[in-house]
């Protein structure tokens, strides 16, 4: 295997091997993207420190279902040591009309997982966190070739400073008494995996802001044992869609409590897109939580105001097929997210000492069902570059053409779905386009423009 070197993109100099040193790569963000990076780098012998701003050792369950795309499955196939299945299969796609009748169906297998199952499996692989999610699997063994790991929570990055061959990371940390302490680290490689509102990206590209797309997504889950037979008949191990002017809904089966995938113990996950114009009274009501706090982008599970949720349930009865409206009525922990757009112009900064991955690079609209897969793909490509298996230029091209292409597709199909009234076949074609395996995507020429300047 070629020597593990990082090529400086400005002057062509070489940084000595990170793998063979005692130095730590620093990863900002301890959710799925950061853990993808931590797990892969650990497996390849790199030492890593994760800085997560949440002031608890474990992140709270986000109550969200995830379509586990090909890159996500490839990542777990390659790096997971628990042996626990990460996904529930969906064997068919169904499309409903407003009455709840099936108007189209096709065989199209996909894999569905949940944020919490993926998170706990990644934590087990990164820093050997044991949990009930490992039932049916095992706590991963330590290997002598593994890199060292350091998961630090309650850390808020306040600045990054280029120091030539290293980056200085300033952050605050809360100790067990709640006292805020200023701290810092230096590293030769900083990985920004801190999501679509990335702090690291804001330091590097302060002019780039998340922009509201004009609609929100309402999410929730219902135990399959609580669903009616009419709902189970279309949702159980199915990927079910509904389209109408100004709204879209998709519902599917995901793992249940502690990641169980046994029939009868799983959850039905619904994802409902609804238009709310910017600054409208309805949007203001929706984004003001039960404590009276006006949230910027997300109302977390358990925080939605009663009046806002009653408004949404009323809309569900009016706008959705009965099976999907039932999910809105029965969910106990709904949450709301504004759909936004953002993408950085490049993925490497500070002479290649800072790299953006996943949502920190490009926030995909959820219609693409590719946000998690983007993070997995970016990380697997990064490791190939660090190990010397691909050149810097190939790494940049792989990551950037994918980010540019899918981000643009997400804007297009999202706007078509929410703001145009199309024939059902056009919606089906949009969805099927997003299911093309990564290796089979033909990226348009414009996605490569300017890459030689990065």
Q: Answer whether residue 344 shows pLDDT above 60.
A: yes
Query: How high is the pLDDT of residue 10?
Result: 32
Categorise residue 56: left if φ over 0, alpha if ψ from -120 to 50, beta otherwise.
beta
CATH topology of domain 6-79+117-210+341-453: FAD/NAD(P)-binding domain (3.50.50)
**Other CB atoms closer than 10 Å to residue 115's CB: what's the count?**
18
Q: What is the CATH number of domain 88-111+212-340?
A: 3.30.9.60
Helix axes 115-127, 32-43, angle to 10 degrees: 30
- CA distances to 64, 268, 272 from 363, rounded to whole Å, are 17, 25, 19
Query: How high is the pLDDT of residue 331?
Result: 93
**What percent of the chain clears pLDDT 90, i.e. is strictly above it?**
81
| Euclidean distance between CA atoms 74 and 71, whole angstroms | 5
Mean of the per-residue pLDDT values of the chain = 93
DSSP string for residues in 19-86: TTSS-EEEEE--SHHHHHHHHHHHHTT-EEEEEE-SSSSSPPP---EEE--HHHHHHHHHH--S----
Report residue 111 as tokens: 């894999």
- For the segment 213-232, the average pLDDT, to the nearest whole number, is 96
Which residues have CB under 8 Å from 374's CB, separation 6+?
71, 358, 359, 361, 362, 364, 402, 403, 406
Which residues have CB under 8 Å from 46's CB, separation 6+?
18, 19, 25, 147, 386
Residues of the chain with CATH 3.30.9.60: 88-111+212-340
Three-state secondary structure call for residue 276: coil
Query: How high is the pLDDT of residue 64?
Result: 80
- Where would I find the H helices in 331-391? 371-386
User: In this structure, are residues 40 and 344 in contact, taking their beta carbons and an 8 Å threshold?
Assistant: no
Residues of the chain with CATH 3.50.50.60: 6-79+117-210+341-453
| Euclidean distance between CA atoms 92 and 373, whole angstroms | 21
Q: Answer whether residue 255 shows pLDDT above 80.
A: yes
| Euclidean distance between CA atoms 152 and 148, whole angstroms | 13
- For the segment 286-306, the average pLDDT, to the nearest whole number, is 95
Q: Answer whether residue 279 shows pLDDT above 90.
A: yes
| Euclidean distance between CA atoms 333 and 269, whole angstroms | 11
User: In this structure, are residues 274 and 218 in contact, taking their beta carbons and an 8 Å threshold?
Assistant: yes
Query: How high is the pLDDT of residue 262?
Result: 86
Highest mean pLDDT among 259-263, 300-304, 319-323: 319-323
Which residues have CB under 8 Å from 341's CB, separation 6+?
210, 211, 213, 363, 365, 407, 410, 411
| pLDDT band, very low/low/confident/very high, at 11 (cuts 50, 70, 90) | very low
Query: How high is the pLDDT of residue 178?
Result: 77
**What percent of the chain clears pLDDT 70, i.e. is strictly above it?**
96
- Least-confidence region, from 59-68, 191-200, 347-356, 402-411: 59-68
| Euclidean distance between CA atoms 38 and 20, whole angstroms | 17
Report residue 80 as tokens: 């997971």
User: In this structure, are residues 196 and 319 in contact, taking their beta carbons and an 8 Å threshold?
Assistant: no
Q: Answer whether residue 13 shows pLDDT above 70.
A: no
Which residues have CB under 8 Å from 393's CB, separation 6+?
451, 452
| pLDDT band, very low/low/confident/very high, at 1 (cuts 50, 70, 90) | very low
**Other CB atoms closer than 10 Å to residue 218's CB: what's the count?**
24
Query: How high is the pLDDT of residue 63?
Result: 66
Gyration radius from the chain CA atoms: 22
Q: Answer whether residue 4 shows pLDDT above 50.
A: no
pLDDT, one tens digit per residue, over 58-89 is: 898 776 888 888 999 999 999 999 999 888 88
pLDDT, one tens digit per residue, over 357-380 is: 999 999 999 999 999 999 999 999
Count of alpha carbons within 13 angstroms of residue 10, beta-carbon side: 8
Q: Answer whether residue 221 shows pLDDT above 80.
A: yes
| Euclidean distance between CA atoms 14 and 188, whole angstroms | 12
| Euclidean distance between CA atoms 376 and 200, whole angstroms | 19
């Amino acid at each position: 295997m070629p020597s593990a070197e990082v090529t400086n993109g400005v002057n062509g100099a070489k940084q000595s091997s990170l793998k063979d040193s005692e130095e730590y790569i620093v990863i900002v963000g301890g959710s799925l993207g950061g853990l993808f990076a931590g797990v892969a780098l650990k497996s390849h012998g790199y030492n890593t420190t994760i800085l997560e701003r949440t002031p608890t050792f474990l992140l709270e369950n986000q109550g969200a279902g995830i379509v586990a795309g090909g890159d996500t499955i490839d990542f777990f196939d390659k790096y997971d040591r628990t042996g626990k299945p990460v996904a529930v299969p969906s064997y068919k796609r169904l499309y409903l009309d407003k009455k709840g009748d099936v108007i189209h169906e096709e065989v199209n297998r996909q894999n569905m997982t949940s944020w919490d199952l993926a998170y706990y499996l990644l934590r087990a692989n990164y820093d050997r966190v044991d949990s009930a999610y490992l039932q049916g699997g095992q706590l991963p063994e330590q290997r002598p070739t593994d890199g060292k790991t350091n998961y630090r929570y309650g850390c808020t990055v306040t600045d990054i400073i280029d120091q030539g061959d290293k980056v200085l990371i300033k952050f605050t940390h809360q100790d067990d008494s709640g006292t805020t302490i200023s701290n810092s680290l230096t590293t030769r490689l900083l990985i920004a995996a801190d999501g679509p509102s990335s702090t690291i990206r804001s330091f590097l590209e302060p002019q780039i802001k998340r922009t509201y797309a004009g609609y929100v997504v309402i999410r929730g889950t219902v135990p399959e044992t609580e669903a009616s037979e009419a709902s189970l008949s279309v949702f159980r191990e199915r990927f079910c869609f509904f389209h109408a002017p100004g709204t879209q809904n998709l519902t599917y089966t995901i793992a249940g409590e502690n990641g169980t995938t046994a029939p009868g113990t799983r959850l039905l996950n619904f994802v409902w897109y609804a238009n709310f114009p910017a600054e409208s009274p309805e949007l203001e009501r929706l984004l003001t939580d039960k404590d009276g706090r006006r949230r910027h982008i997300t109302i977390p599970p358990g925080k939605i105001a009663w009046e806002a949720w009653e408004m949404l349930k009323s809309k569900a009865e009016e706008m959705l097929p009965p099976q999907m409206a039932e999910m809105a009525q029965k969910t106990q922990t709904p949450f709301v997210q504004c759909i936004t757009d953002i993408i950085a112009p490049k993925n490497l900064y500070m002479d290649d000492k800072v790299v953006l991955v996943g949502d920190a690079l490009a926030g995909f609209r959820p219609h693409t069902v590719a946000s998690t897969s983007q993070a997995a793909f970016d990380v697997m490509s990064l490791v190939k570059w660090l190990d010397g298996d691909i050149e810097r230029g190939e790494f940049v091209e792989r990551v950037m053409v994918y980010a540019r292409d899918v981000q643009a597709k997400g804007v297009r199909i999202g706007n078509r779905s929410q703001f145009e009234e199309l024939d059902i076949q056009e919606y089906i074609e949009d969805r099927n386009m997003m299911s093309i395996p990564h290796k089979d995507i033909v990226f348009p020429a414009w996605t490569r423009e300017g890459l030689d300047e990065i």
